[in-house]
Structure 1
Amino acid sequence: MHIRFDVPADPAYPGRVAAALSSVRLRRYGYIGAVLAAVGAIGFVVSRGFAWADQVSSLCMAMVVVGLLSMLYSPWVAWRARRRSSRYAVEGGYDITDDNIMMRSGSESGGIAWDGVTRVKDTPEFWIVFVGRMPATVIPRRLMAAEDAETLRAFMAERGLLQLR
């Protein structure tokens, strides 16, 4: 397998990449926030009928507020990543072989060996490549030829790396 494609200098592209990577890293904050908000709301409602309601209700309201803020943290970070990275638009490209994924962006280049990849998450626009537990890079499916995308999908599925949405 040898897949090569270019990435145009689109000002929106670095922001989409940054938002995709940050959403993967920060998803747990949304889950933790939902649990905190739910437990706080339930605690607030249940405590209303007891004599010690005043002491517990402030704790429960704090849990609800912290939970809501935690749920909003991930979208806020993604929004900031999109806004800040839009000025980093440069031409780049990918060169994907059986051995590694080579990426270049402007004058910088780097690569990831397939042996180091632990999983690949499928999203609507990207394949997010994980090394260990951390997302390392993305492969933009929409910029590839359809045949190349299918070849790469089959390669990743054969290696047991592809994790569907």
Structure 2
Amino acid sequence: MRISVSVPHDEKLLRRTVKFLLRPQLKFIRIMGGVLVVLGLVLVAMDPSDPIAHLAMILGLLFVVAVAPIAVARSMRGVPDVLKHGFHVTLDDEWAIVTYPLAESRFRWAGLGRVVETPEVWYIMFGKYQAVTIPKGPMTEEQREEFAAFVGRLQHTRG
């Protein structure tokens, strides 16, 4: 396999990748927020004048609603400028190579953790927080099929 495509900078794609990487932590925070809301409701039912009950509900709602957008926004501000340009991705039987104008990353398929496919991209995970985003849009239909088959074989052999 040898696939080589250029990917223009896409702020929305970068934001979706950040959300994808933050999803496990944000899920836990949302669950904890829900627990706080329920706890606050129980406490309010027991004593409507208890300020702790109202505080628990407010904090819980903030955890459920506000933490995710704030975390994504802060993460987006922390993305290095070197990644805020288009990139070129080259995929072959041994390597996934992502080249930006000022940086290059090379990943051996032997280090592959897992692959998550969405309608728009493949997230190639080389660790818990290390993802290479392979957008489907710049690829031809033949390249998408070839890469999907390659990834399927990789995942099958890795068990």
Higher relative contact order at CA 8 Å, sep ≥6: structure 1 or structure 2?
1
Aligned CA distance change for structure 1 residues 52 and 120 (closer, same or farther; 3 Å): same
For residue 122 of structure 2, the aligned residue among 122, 127, 134 is 127
In structure 2, the CA distance between the partners of 1:108 and 1:33, relative to structure 1 (3 Å rule), is closer
Q: Return the match for 1:63 from 59, 66, 72.
A: 59
What is residue 73 of structure 1 aligned with on the other side?
70
Give the unaligned 5+ runs of structure 2: none
- Distance (whole Å) between structure 2 residues aligned to residue 125 and residue 78 of structure 1: 21
Matched-pair contact (CA < 8 Å) for 1:43–1:57: yes
Preserved contact between residue 3 and residue 95 of structure 1 (Cα < 8 Å): yes
- Matching residue's letter, 1:151: E
CA RMSD of aligned residues (A): 3.0
TM-score normalised over the length of structure 1: 0.75
The aligned residue for residue 145 of structure 1 is 140
**What is the alpha-carbon distance in structure 2 between the residues aligned to residue 19 and residue 78 of structure 1?**
9
Instruction: Check if 1:20 corresponds to 2:7.
Output: no
Q: 1:132 to 1:49 in 2, by over 3 A?
A: closer
Of the structure 1 ranges 64-73 and 143-152, higher mean CA displacement relative to structure 2 is found in 64-73
Unmatched tracts of structure 1, length 5 or more: none
* 8 Å Cα contact 2:18-2:72 kept in structure 1: no
1:6 is aligned to 6
Contact 2:90 2:96 in 1 (8 A): yes
> What is the aligned-residue identity percentage?
19
Deviations 1:19-44 (A, max 9, x none): 13311221134323332332222222
The structure where strand makes up a greater share of residues is 1
1:147 Cα offset (Å): 0.4
